[in-house]
Structure 1
Amino acid sequence: MPDWAEIALRTLLAVAVLFVMTKLLGKRQVSQLSLFEYITGITIGSLAAYVSLDLESTWYLGLVAIAVWVGVSLGIEWLQIKSKRARDIIDSRATVLIKDGKILEDNLKKERLTTDELLQQLRRKNVFRTADVEFAIMEPSGDVNVLLTKENQPLTPKHLGIRVAPEQEPQAVIMDGEIMDEPLATLGLNRDWLQTELEKTGVAVENVFLGQVDSAGQLFVDLYDDQLKVPQPQTKAALLATLKKCEADLEMFGLSTNEREAKSMYARCSKQLEKVIDDVKPLLVR
């Protein structure tokens, strides 16, 4: 076999082996590398290059070395899962950098972090004054997480005493002009419903780049033609308006009748509907 053909076959074999091994190591190997995982990635890549280019008869030993490295990595991950002490030794512990607005200089030196680097990490969290920081900690991955003081934390509906509805993951029901049946079935919907919603917006399926349905059953579409404007769904707003109109009608009926029993009934129904509106309003105002 010519050398070039043998190298091509070995490269393909190395790619296949690397794919299988990285799948075994999991997504964390790619997204958040610890120090050992970083070394493992470099070493396995070097071994794969050896398998591809070494023309000697012992090239297969590179595959053995890759398997050993992956086995050691899996064993270390197992230890980390089972033992807190092993996690502390392998990944090290998190380090507090700022406490009560005060920078801990000794911990900065321990992590070999300069003041400029600390300020850069804080700016990534949209923090520009260390005095605004209640607590800052460097994770074993190297990321710095920040807890702002109470007065500097952003307002949330909970702070204002406002109830909001839970938000579920939107489902992509149209992608690249093609209807996705599985997400539709997950929502309990079908193609007929989707076609009806598209007719309301006046667009065809083939003109939709992406279509998503939220937890309230509202369809949002993004078209290939960015110049076209698509009206936003008004299902929840229309339902809330209808409920308020019914409440107003009940109050008007109560005022327009002279019968005491009917007036009492309309007033009671109006109060009950008002309570229903208060209960469902968090679901309809988002």
Structure 2
Amino acid sequence: MTELGTVLIRGIVGFILLFILARIMGKKHMTDMTFYEYIVGIAIGSIAAELTFGTEVRMSNFILGMILWAIFPLIVSKIELKSFRFRVLTEGHPTVLIENGKILEKNFKKEDLTIDELMIHLRQKDAFKISEVESAVMEKNGQISIMKKSDSQPLTTKDMGMTVELEHQPRLVIVDGNVMEKSLNEYGYTKEWLKGEIMKQGAKDFSEVFLAQIDSMGNVYLDLYNDNLKMPQIKQKLLVAANIKQLQANLMNFSLQTENEDAKEMYQTHAKKMDTLIDEMTVYLKE
């Protein structure tokens, strides 16, 4: 048998043996990886280390070995997609640790898990009392998922029979003093409206803003380059200017939304007047 053939056989045998050992170790020793991802990581790391120091072994053997260990998880993944039984063999089953509020001691022994380790996982899920837990399951990757009892779950607006507007993903609208106009327009706002909002929070211009984020409700979070500019320190004149700027933005929005030409012209005319007013006020705002 050729040397490369020997490497091929050894690679296959090594993969199978490491897989069996990883399965014996149990899920608690895993991270967020599946079993074969775990053992492949170990194997490739070992081969890379040997490649550095094992000068007596041919480079071609190292290359073949690393290729084999890179291909193995791809083959396993393809087979898992086709076969549920094989997926169970490679990944195992989730293990129920707590059911109907009762601890299942046999499953603790099966997963070689202690109560102290369980408590660590529960505290990470904000469950400090076992009495709060209705169900706890050790997943295939070793993580523990829990479901709290109904009387221990946070009260939601649905529980109270309240209807709230759904929120969507917030958007960054200013980064390093630059306005992200595309994000702003997607939420239906203008630069004039945004300037009015930042002026309310102490900024006179976009260049003074390090970061601004807007949510789907129109609330603006602002971080200024000068963190000493706080809301209570803003002059009254600055607030008035901000309100005028926002009113101007609203008028421009109204003009875009209406199909009545007379109303459109009226909105635009008053918006221009307010723009002129703000320009005239600029000198006094700096005092």
The TM-score range, normalised by the shorter chain, is 0.5 to 0.7
Taking the TM superposition and a 5 Å limit, the aligned residue runs for 1:17-36 are 32-36=32-36
Computed over aligned residues only, the root mean square deviation of the Cα atoms, in angstroms, reads: 3.1
Q: Distance in 1 between matches of 2:119 and 2:65?
A: 42
Structure 2 partner of 1:260: none
Identity %: 39
Amino acid at match of 2:101: G
3-state DSSP class of the match of 1:97?
strand
- The 1:71/1:230 distance shift into structure 2, 3 A limit, reads farther
Q: Which runs of 5+ in 2 are unaligned?
A: 1-30, 233-242, 247-287
Structure 2 partner of 1:167: 167
Amino acid at match of 2:211: L
CA deviation profile, 1:83-103 (whole Å, cap 9, x unmatched): 332222111110111112211
Structure 1 partner of 2:240: none
Q: Which moved more, 1:151-160 or 1:129-138?
A: 129-138
TM value normalised by structure 1? 0.61
Query: Is structure 2 residue 114 aligned with structure 1 residue 118?
Result: no
Amino acid at match of 2:206: V
Amino acid at match of 1:226: D
Query: Is structure 2 residue 145 aligned with structure 1 residue 145?
Result: yes
Query: Is structure 2 residue 92 aligned with structure 1 residue 92?
Result: yes
CA deviation profile, 1:39-65 (whole Å, cap 9, x unmatched): 111222333344455556832543333
Q: Which runs of 5+ in 1 are unaligned?
A: 1-30, 239-286
Q: Which moved more, 1:91-100 or 1:189-198?
A: 189-198
Structure 1 partner of 2:217: 216
Amino acid at match of 1:128: F
Amino acid at match of 2:129: R
Q: Residue 51 of structure 1 contacts residue 60 of structure 1 at CA under 8 Å; is this kept in 2? A: no
Structure with the bigger RCO (C-alpha within 8 Å, sep 6+) is 2
Q: Residue 201 of structure 2 contacts residue 230 of structure 2 at CA under 8 Å; is this kept in 1? A: no
Amino acid at match of 1:208: V
Amino acid at match of 1:215: S
Aligned residues: 205
- The 1:61/1:194 distance shift into structure 2, 3 A limit, reads farther
Q: Distance in 1 between matches of 2:213 and 2:92?
A: 43
TM value normalised by structure 2? 0.61
Q: Distance in 2 between matches of 1:199 and 1:132?
A: 47
1:158 Cα deviation (Å)?
A: 0.7
CA deviation profile, 1:107-156 (whole Å, cap 9, x unmatched): 00000001221222222222233222211111111111111222222211
1:171 Cα deviation (Å)?
A: 0.7
Q: Distance in 2 between matches of 1:213 and 1:153?
A: 30
Q: Distance in 2 between matches of 1:140 and 1:224?
A: 47
